[in-house]
């Protein structure tokens, strides 16, 4: 699966945002509660869609089902400022939106940059559902044969070795923010 630099950079951040919501400070599962809190704050989070879309896009966790994999593959291969970036009008005809998410979709459309944000949110959810992000577990041989080109996007051989650099940079940044890396936990 071909992925644009925009989505290659944004997906690990989206993934980290979701990881932060998974458990509370005592390690207990908290995703449902924290997603509900984010959804209640959605109107206040909307101003962030242009500079931190991944922090707001988590509101749409499990909100979309995709009816056109070809369109989604074209979307994740494009850049938001490119001529080939799919519009919300085109995309919404090729996905289903959960009933509970309709109100958030409407609110986003009414916000500046909201339609582009919804396209980005849908693309991030597509990548998450497909398991095409750097933190996914390695597939078994049988699973990898049954999936065409929807394999681990961030560990593909065509990244020119840059994803390792991105992982190291991300780990360094998280360390500077006070988070422990997986590497330091295993030592």
Nearest residue to 121 (alpha-carbon basis) of 74, 32, 72, 58: 58
The 10 Å CB-count burial string (b at 16+, else e) for 32-54 is eebbeebbeebeebbeebeeebb
d(CA 133, CA 55) in angstroms, rounded, equals: 17
Question: What is the per-residue pLDDT for 165?
Answer: 63
In 3D space, the residue among 52, 16, 28, 54 whose CA is nearest the CA of residue 182 turns out to be: 16
Tokens linked to 149? 């080109």
pLDDT, one tens digit for every residue, the chain (187 residues): 799 999 999 999 999 999 999 998 888 999 999 999 999 999 999 999 999 999 999 999 999 999 999 999 999 999 999 999 999 999 999 999 999 999 999 999 999 999 999 999 999 999 999 975 433 333 333 333 333 444 344 444 444 445 556 666 676 767 777 777 555 544 4
| DSSP state letters, 49-106 | TTT-HHHHHGGGTT-EEES-HHHHHHHHTS-TTSTTPPPHHHHHTTEEE-GGGHHHHH
8 A C-beta contact, residue 6 and residue 13: no
pLDDT at position 27 is: 87
Q: Beta partners for 97?
A: 64
CA count, 13 A, side-chain hemisphere, 37? 9
pTM of the model: 0.70
Backbone angles phi, psi at 131, to 5 degrees: 75, 20
DSSP-derived 3-state class of residue 27: coil
Say how far apart CA 3 and CA 153 lie, in whole Å: 7
Contacts of 20 (CB under 8 A, 6+ apart): none
């Amino acid at each position: 699966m071909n992925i644009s630099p925009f989505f290659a950079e944004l997906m690990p951040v989206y993934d980290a945002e979701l990881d932060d919501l998974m458990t509370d400070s005592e390690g207990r599962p908290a995703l449902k509660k924290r997603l509900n809190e984010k959804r209640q704050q959605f109107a206040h989070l909307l101003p962030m869609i242009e500079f931190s879309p991944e922090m707001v896009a988590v509101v749409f966790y499990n909100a979309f089902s995709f009816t056109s994999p070809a369109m989604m593959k074209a979307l994740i291969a494009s850049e938001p400022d490119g001529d080939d970036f799919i519009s919300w009008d085109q995309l919404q005809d090729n996905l289903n939106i959960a009933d509970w998410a309709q109100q958030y979709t409407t609110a986003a459309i009414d916000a500046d940059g909201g339609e582009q944000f919804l396209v980005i949110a849908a693309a991030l959810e597509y990548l998450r559902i497909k398991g095409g992000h750097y933190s996914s577990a390695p597939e078994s041989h049988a699973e990898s044969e049954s999936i065409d080109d929807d394999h681990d996007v961030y560990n593909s051989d065509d990244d020119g070795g840059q994803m390792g650099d991105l992982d190291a940079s991300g780990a360094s940044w998280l360390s500077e923010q006070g988070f422990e890396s997986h590497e330091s936990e295993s030592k």
